[in-house]
Amino acid sequence: MPVYSEKVMDHFQHPRNVGEIENADGVGELGNPTCGDIMKIYIKVKDDKIEDVKFKTFGCGAAIATSSMVTELVKGKTLEEAEKVSNGVVAEALDGLPPVKMHCSNLAADALHLAIEDYRARKAGKGPIGRVETPEHDEDEHDLLEHA
């Protein structure tokens, strides 16, 4: 079983910013049905800043913790600052993730970036971008995930 930091456990047991934002300005949804993690991030933008951010995640403890941490990292930040939040930044903010769970931090950062992309598409009159699924894990990684 992977060993998690205290921060990961705290964000898993007490996730921040859980829920939906009605009439969100941008929504990013990512998921991988093979491993079961699905994340949806909602953003409310005012004056080019993320005024509010919420998430709904179906997945393992690391997926919930990374979603929670992403929302904490970007609340009140400009869109440009939020776009700089990468999987590495999320993992570092959580004092690390076990290697077999690093894909969770990828999903959280990518869902945030999709929400920002969705916001910009809506603002440009191109409508919502819709759901995007992550590519399948390769078999070796999936076997590791199932036995983690």
**Domain ranges across the chain:** 6-135
Residues with active-site annotation: 35, 104
- Euclidean distance between CA atoms 59 and 101, whole angstroms: 11
**Is domain 6-135 given the CATH code 3.90.1010.10 in the classification?**
yes
Q: What is the pLDDT of residue 119?
A: 96
Q: What is the pLDDT of residue 98?
A: 83
Q: How much is the pTM?
A: 0.84
**Average pLDDT rounded to a whole number, residues 10-36:** 90
- Euclidean distance between CA atoms 114 and 66, whole angstroms: 16
Q: Is the pLDDT of residue 60 over 60?
A: yes
Q: Is the pLDDT of residue 130 over 80?
A: no
Q: Which of 3, 7, 80, 6 is nearest to 48 (CA)?
A: 80
